[in-house]
């Protein structure tokens, strides 16, 4: 996103890629999905045929012949690396890259047009400095620190660039809704945090 995202399951990929139909003429796409794979190039041909068969607008891929693919994250300026391989995700995170693990789920999609995304806050959208205060002291020290610094924005966490890219889509949707009152917003974003008052204000302001 903003030239991002890889190894996303096909249903999620198509949901994300569908927002490119909101792009104004001549503007770059909101979303780009890049396939990074440990497969060899021969198997990669089958992968790309499957991409075409599912009608996904994915044009770039890297096939690493058994090696971990996360090292290409900086080269492609990716906002998020997704993989079902836990070891690859942990290595990517340890190297300072934004990454997440894709988990199997029995939940069925509701076939709606909405895309719903929930972000954790501390250590994800923001850095983990507040969490370190909590770990080094009592909950009272955490609340005091966050209350005293409620006007100070947290430093960026690993997924803040992804959220910035998502915000571009949200702003475009709002622009379209202003021109067409019948337009229904398709992107829904939520912030999930274990914080309670009085430590909520700094997170919201950040």
Domain presence at residue 55: yes
Q: How confident is the model at residue 5 (pLDDT cuts 50, 70, 90)?
A: very low
Domain presence at residue 1: no
Instruction: Give yes or no for residue 7 having a pLDDT over 60.
Output: no
- Domain final residue, candidates 101, 127, 158: 101
Assess whether 177 and 129 both reside in one domain. Answer: yes
Instruction: Give yes or no for residue 110 having a pLDDT over 80.
Output: no
Assess whether 120 and 57 both reside in one domain. Answer: no
Q: Which pLDDT does position 14 carry in this prediction?
A: 58
- Mean pLDDT on 22-48: 88
Assess whether 139 and 194 both reside in one domain. Answer: yes
Give the chain's domain count.
2
Domain presence at residue 3: no
Domain presence at residue 161: yes
Assess whether 87 and 121 both reside in one domain. Answer: no
Instruction: Give yes or no for residue 174 having a pLDDT over 90.
Output: yes
Assess whether 31 and 94 both reside in one domain. Answer: yes
Q: Which pLDDT does position 111 carry in this prediction?
A: 63
Strand (E) or helix (H) holding 99: strand 99-101
- Mean pLDDT on 96-112: 77
Task: List the alpha helices (DSSP H) in 61-138.
Answer: 86-94, 129-136
Q: Which pLDDT does position 206 carry in this prediction?
A: 84
pLDDT tens readout for residues 122-146:
888 888 877 777 777 778 888 888 8
Q: How confident is the model at residue 180 (pLDDT cuts 50, 70, 90)?
A: very high
Assess whether 120 and 94 both reside in one domain. Answer: no
Assess whether 72 and 122 both reside in one domain. Answer: no
Q: How confident is the model at residue 9 (pLDDT cuts 50, 70, 90)?
A: very low
pLDDT tens readout for residues 59-93:
888 888 878 777 888 888 889 998 888 888 898 88
Assess whether 77 and 140 both reside in one domain. Answer: no
Q: Which domain holds residue 51?
A: 10-101
122/200 Cα distance (integer angstroms): 11
Question: From residue 50, how far is each of 63, 68, 90, 110, 167 by CA, in Å?
Answer: 15, 22, 28, 24, 30
- Domain final residue, candidates 101, 130, 163: 101
pTM of the predicted model over 0.85: no
82/10 Cα distance (integer angstroms): 12
Assess whether 182 and 131 both reside in one domain. Answer: yes
DSSP 120: E
Domain presence at residue 5: no
Domain presence at residue 23: yes
Assess whether 93 and 145 both reside in one domain. Answer: no
Domain presence at residue 107: no
């Amino acid at each position: 996103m903003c030239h991002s995202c890889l190894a996303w399951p096909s249903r999620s990929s198509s949901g994300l890629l569908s927002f490119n139909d909101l792009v104004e003429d001549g503007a770059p796409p909101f979303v780009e999905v890049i396939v990074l794979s440990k497969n060899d190039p021969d198997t990669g041909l089958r992968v790309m045929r499957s991409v075409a068969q599912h009608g996904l607008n994915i044009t770039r891929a890297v096939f690493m012949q058994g090696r971990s693919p996360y090292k290409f994250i900086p080269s492609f300026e990716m906002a998020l690396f997704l993989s079902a391989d836990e070891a690859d995700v942990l290595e990517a995170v340890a190297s300072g890259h934004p990454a997440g693990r894709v988990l199997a789920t029995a939940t069925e999609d509701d076939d709606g047009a909405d895309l719903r995304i929930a972000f954790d806050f501390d250590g994800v959208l923001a850095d983990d400095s507040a969490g370190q205060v909590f770990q080094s002291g009592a909950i009272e020290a955490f609340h005091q620190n966050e209350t005293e610094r409620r006007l100070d924005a947290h430093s960026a966490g690993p997924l803040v660039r992804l959220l910035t890219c998502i915000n571009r889509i949200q702003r475009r949707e709002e622009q379209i809704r202003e021109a067409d009152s019948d337009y229904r917003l398709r992107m829904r974003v939520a912030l999930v945090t274990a914080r309670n008052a009085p430590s909520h204000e700094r997170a919201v302001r950040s």
